[in-house]
Amino acid sequence: MVHCHYYGREQLEKQDEAYRNRTRLDPEGLAWGNASLTLRGVRTQDEGVYLCHVTSELGWTAERRELRVEAPYSEPHLILDLSFRLGHTLLTFSSEGGYPRASVERRDGTGTNLTELSSTTESVDARGLYTLCSELAVPVGQSTNLTVLLVTAPGRETHIQHITVAGGPGEWGKEDGNCPASAGLCPTAGRGEGISG
């Protein structure tokens, strides 16, 4: 049981331990027929469908409500490994502390999906939050613009990193003249401003 209120007061003797000291009904709201429940300290384990039973002098009713939990992923970390393997540069993207489970997509400047050329691993901590690490090897001497996206659901993409990989020594990123020419990697924008579909 998540919460119980009857005879004008809280009846929490049988409340599930997972919800102890985390639920609250507004007494003033109840007086006006509003039985909204507040859940504090939301956890990933709280996600799911809840059934609410209400009995009054007007009769009995029950409704289902779905609770979806979301936690933002951290600012992305981007690491460049020039010594990965002969003729290739390794781009490693990582982000942590997010929920729900997500995937990493990479697209080039024409919008072509390069995800199948990359390798992504994930881990989950004790709180149920995810850490993602995605690697993509880019051939040296090949100029390309890359967009890294975090996909949390079909149609929900967060643009998190735009980078330009220069074709060789002496070339700079097309949109960032401050990028060291020797690095061959130029971030052109940080985390995106929301979600686009």
Q: Tens digit of pLDDT for each residue in 25-49?
A: 888 887 787 888 899 999 999 999 9
The structure tokens 């149609």 sit at 155
Domain 77-196 CATH class label: mainly beta
* Domain range 5-67, CATH architecture: Sandwich (2.60)
Residue intervals of the chain classified under CATH 2.60.40.10 are: 5-67, 77-196
Q: Rounded to an integer, what distance in angstroms lies between the CA atom of residue 163 and that of residue 172?
A: 11
Q: Tens digit of pLDDT for each residue in 55-103?
A: 877 788 899 999 999 999 998 888 888 777 778 888 899 999 999 999 9
Question: Percentage of the chain with pLDDT > 70?
Answer: 82
